[in-house]
């Protein structure tokens, strides 16, 4: 992925690595701009932002990118001001639009109007075919291993080949991708690029609170669970006191409601819970995370993450005839030390 130019419509980027859009306000200008500066696609999560706030975030991210990579936006389709936010981003000069947690047909015509590629998140070959007919520039095949709202519980090893067979569009793999080994593995399965959210949420440039990031680095393999989101989809989150309360079926009082969703199950206020986690305040804190979050043990800068991914990827690629499993020691040196510490230093 590091030597592969990703072409989406008329947009090209040096590295086929996309930082996932993480709301509420986890992936803002500081993170998106840093990822783009490394030659990838940095994504601002516009959900729960005002149009003015989103406009400012896009302009700041572009300044931080320094003319490198690209800046994208991702807005939850379930929010009432979805159209307003997408159109604001397009008018502000966003490079690419990602659309998930629902399927909008209108977004493709909006993108065409501004000559901006639109890339929906899909969870099946059937949806990939529909996206191609509607004018998508590519699709993100997102598996049940991803963090946040999920359209499926199927693994990426099952979804990616299905989506590749169903469409001629570039296919970006998402869900459970945190290190260079994962990137190499996705490439071998036919992915044209990868989307990584959880790894970048645990970066210095991420807008998440210290509470949020420490929950990541202290997590265990069994700590991610599925909760019932008010959006109407399951969501993969890290266990804490609030999530345990949700899993128990306890009633969660909604103190105030600004009617932000098109349809809300009202089992709890997801906007407030995500905001609490992002700020590290309040008692009801919802922290979304991918299934392999437990492998991340250090908060690194985006530049350090890219350097680390490149070293891991190169080490694995050099052993392409017999690629090892994560954590296995490679030989000969100098790559053995790097791969031996996948879990320890991720």
- Tell whether 328 and 193 lie within a shared domain: no
* pTM of full prediction above 0.85: yes
Distances (CA, A) of 184 to 32, 103, 192, 200: 23, 29, 11, 18
Q: Is residue 332 part of a domain?
A: yes
Please indicate, yes or no, whether residues 20 and 137 belong to a single structural domain of this protein: yes
pLDDT tens digits for range 283-310: 999 999 999 999 999 999 999 999 999 9
**Counts of helices then strands in the chain (DSSP H, E):** 14, 13
Q: What pLDDT, in 10s, does the model give residues 1-24?
A: 767 889 998 999 999 999 999 999
Among 25, 36, 74, 60, residue whose Cα is nearest residue 303: 36
Distance, CA of 213 to CA of 223 (rounded, Å)? 14
Q: Using 50, 70 and 90 to split pLDDT, how confident is the model at 339?
A: very low
Claim to verify: residue 177 and residue 270 sit in the same structural domain: no
Shared domain check, 186 and 272 = no
The verdict on 153 and 259 lying in the same domain is no
pLDDT in tens, 67-85: 999 999 999 898 999 999 9
Whether 269 and 328 share a structural domain: no
How much is the pLDDT for 216? Answer: 98
Residue 290: inside a domain: no
Measured from the Cβ of residue 110, the count of other Cβ atoms closer than 10 Å reads 17
pLDDT higher than 80, residue 120: yes
Residues 192 and 234 placed together within one structural domain of the fold: no
Q: Are residues 103 and 183 in the same domain?
A: yes
83 belongs to a structural domain: yes
Asked if residue 129 and residue 30 are part of one domain, the reply reads: yes
Binned at pLDDT 50, 70 and 90, residue 331 comes out as very low
H-only helix segments in the chain: 29-37, 51-65, 82-92, 106-114, 125-134, 156-166, 180-188, 198-201, 210-217, 241-247, 270-279, 302-317, 335-340, 342-345
Please indicate, yes or no, whether residues 215 and 197 belong to a single structural domain of this protein: no
**Across 244-249, average pLDDT:** 94
d(CA 343, CA 224) in angstroms, rounded, equals 17
Find the helix or strand (DSSP H, E) in which 194 lies. Answer: strand 193-196
Assess if residue 157 is contained within a domain: yes
Q: What is the pLDDT of residue 321?
A: 55
Q: Which of 146, 170, 201 is the last residue of a domain?
A: 201
Residues 25, 163: one domain? yes
Question: What residues contact residue 62 under an 8 Å CB cut-off, 6+ apart?
Answer: 33, 71, 93
Residue 7 lies in a domain: no
What pLDDT, on a 0 to 100 scale, did the predictor assign at position 256?
86
* Among 229, 196, 156, 205, residue whose Cα is nearest residue 295: 196
Number of domains comprising the chain: 3
Do 272 and 168 sit in the same domain of this protein? no
Cα–chain-centroid distance for residue 77? Answer: 15
Q: Domain boundary at 201, 227, 257, which?
A: 201
48-62, 197-211, 330-344 — which is least confidently predicted?
330-344
pLDDT in tens, 153-205: 999 999 999 999 999 999 999 999 999 999 999 999 999 999 999 999 999 99
Say which residue the tokens 């989809």 belong to.
Answer: 233
Residue with tokens 């807005």: 75
Whether residue 59 lies inside any domain: the answer is yes
Domain boundary pick from 151, 171, 201: 201
CATH number, domain with residue 177 = 3.20.20.70
Residue 84 sits at the vertex; the CA angle it makes with 82 and 90, to the nearest 5 degrees, is 100
Position 245 scores a pLDDT of 95
Q: Is residue 31 part of a domain?
A: yes
Q: Which residue range forms the structural domain that includes residue 218?
A: 210-279
The lowest-confidence range among 16-25, 220-229, 238-247, 332-341 is 332-341
The pLDDT, as a whole number, for residue 253 is 87
Residue 285 lies in a domain: no
């Amino acid at each position: 992925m590091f030597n592969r130019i990703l072409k989406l419509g008329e947009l090209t980027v040096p590295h086929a690595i996309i930082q996932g859009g993480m709301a509420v306000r986890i992936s803002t200008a500081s993170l998106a701009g840093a990822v783009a500066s490394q030659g990838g696609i940095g994504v601002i999560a516009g959900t729960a932002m005002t149009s003015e706030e989103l406009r400012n975030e896009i302009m700041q991210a572009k300044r931080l990118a320094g003319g490198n990579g690209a800046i994208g936006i991702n807005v939850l389709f379930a929010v009432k001001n979805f159209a307003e936010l997408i159109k604001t981003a397009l008018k502000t000069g966003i490079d690419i639009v990602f659309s998930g947690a629902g399927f909008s047909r209108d977004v493709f015509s909006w993108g065409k109007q501004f000559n901006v590629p639109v890339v929906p998140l899909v969870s099946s070959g059937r949806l990939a075919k529909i996206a191609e007919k509607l004018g998508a520039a590519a699709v993100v095949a997102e598996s049940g291993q991803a963090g946040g709202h999920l359209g499926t519980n199927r693994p990426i090893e099952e979804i990616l080949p299905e989506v590749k067979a169903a469409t001629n569009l570039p296919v970006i793999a998402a869900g459970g991708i945190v290190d260079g080994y994962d990137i190499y593995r996705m490439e071998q399965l036919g992915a044209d690029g990868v989307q990584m959210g959880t790894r970048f949420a645990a970066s210095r440039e991420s807008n998440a609170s210290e509470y949020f990031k420490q929950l990541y680095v202290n997590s265990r393999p069994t700590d991610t669970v599925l909760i019932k989101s008010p959006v109407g989809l399951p969501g993969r989150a890290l266990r804490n006191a609030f999530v345990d309360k949700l899993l128990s079926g306890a009633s969660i009082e909604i103190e105030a409601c600004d009617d932000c969703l098109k349809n809300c199950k009202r089992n709890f206020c997801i906007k407030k819970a995500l905001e609490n986690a992002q700020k590290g305040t309040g008692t009801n804190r919802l922290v979304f995370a991918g299934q392999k979050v437990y492998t991340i043990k250090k908060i690194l800068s985006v530049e350090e993450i890219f350097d680390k991914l490149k070293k891991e990827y190169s080490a694995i690629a050099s052993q392409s005839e017999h690629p090892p499993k994560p954590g296995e020691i490679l030989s000969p040196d100098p790559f053995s030390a790097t791969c031996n510490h996948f879990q320890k230093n991720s």
